[in-house]
Amino acid sequence: MTYLGFHLTFTLPAIAALWVFRPRAGQAWWPLGVLVAIAFVYTTPWDNYLVAQGVWTYPPDRVLATVGYVPVEEYAFFVLQTVLSGLAFMWVRARYFARVPEPADRRVRLPGVVGSAALSLVGLALTLRGGHGLYLGLLLVWAGPVLTLMWAVGGEMLWARRRLLVWAAMLPTLYLCVADRIAIELGIWSLTDATRTGVEIAGLPLEEAVFFLLTNLMVVQGLALCEPSRASTLPAMRREAARLAEERAAHAEPLARQRPREFVRPLLGA
């Protein structure tokens, strides 16, 4: 199987299925388009560097063409995975987490920022050390700052949607891990033993599972940050409730000043 055949077998059919069952109304699509553009721009230099360092290799007979160090199908994967993960987020949210979440305390930002920053530092240490931890280190250095920024900007929104984020990220992660395991077995691409830890999960290199988990988390968290929360809607709801209360009070005050018989007399006449 070629890399193009991989897309025709795994990524494109999954995207088509999620598109058929996508939410039909009330969905803004611009955030997904923005994330696709950001993912492509941010991932391109990183992926080229990995291939240049020999972390990933692609047999020439399995790809159509190469731009820089990376096959064109790999560039397509940046876009297709982002779309796949974004559609999975919309599908899970529309069916199981449509309710607007309760607002969270902003203090939850700190643990998220600290945890994500710690991943970045661990990645930096592994990268500088090189050897078998190089792939994992480059992965954490690449993803950690993005996750840190997301938690610093809207950690309370991410915490309020934590169950949605877990499910929305895990579904495409598990699917792509299975597809990646098959692709490695078929020789569509391979990982260099000298730059990976050697730890495997059901035959899948640990780094690949971490890669899909972190990339899908970045996508679903990005989409979650673009959506409203009860924290943003409550002020508007309070203003509307106060306005309605004022209107009712203004309408009721003149009636209360009238004598009771003025209410009873028309009823008796009727």
Tell me what the mean pLDDT of segment 38-51 comes to.
Answer: 95
For tokens 């993960």, the residue is: 85
Q: CA 208, CA 219: separation in Å to the nearest integer?
A: 17
**pLDDT, position 112:** 93
Query: Would the pLDDT of 71 be above 60?
Result: yes
Range in 14-23, 74-83, 86-95, 240-249 with the lowest mean pLDDT: 240-249
Q: What is the pLDDT of residues 120-156, one digit of tens each?
A: 999 999 999 989 999 999 999 999 999 999 999 999 9
**pLDDT, position 234:** 47
Q: Tell me how far CA of residue 228 lies from CA of 76, 157, 218, in angstroms.
A: 30, 9, 18
Q: CA 113, CA 23: separation in Å to the nearest integer?
A: 32
The first and second tokens of residue 39, run together, are 């993912």
Which amino acid appears at position 124 of this protein? L
H or E element that contains 201: strand 200-201
* Reported pTM: 0.82
Pairing of strands 56-57, 66-67: unpaired
Tell me what the mean pLDDT of segment 191-219 comes to.
Answer: 94
Q: Give the chain's radius of gyration (CA, Å).
A: 26
Query: Would the pLDDT of 218 be above 60?
Result: yes
Task: List residues bridging with 71 in a β-sheet.
Answer: 66
Question: Do residues 41 and 114 lie in contact, with contact meaning Cβ atoms separated by under 8 Å?
Answer: no
**pLDDT, position 102:** 73
Question: Do residues 68 and 48 lie in contact, with contact meaning Cβ atoms separated by under 8 Å?
Answer: yes
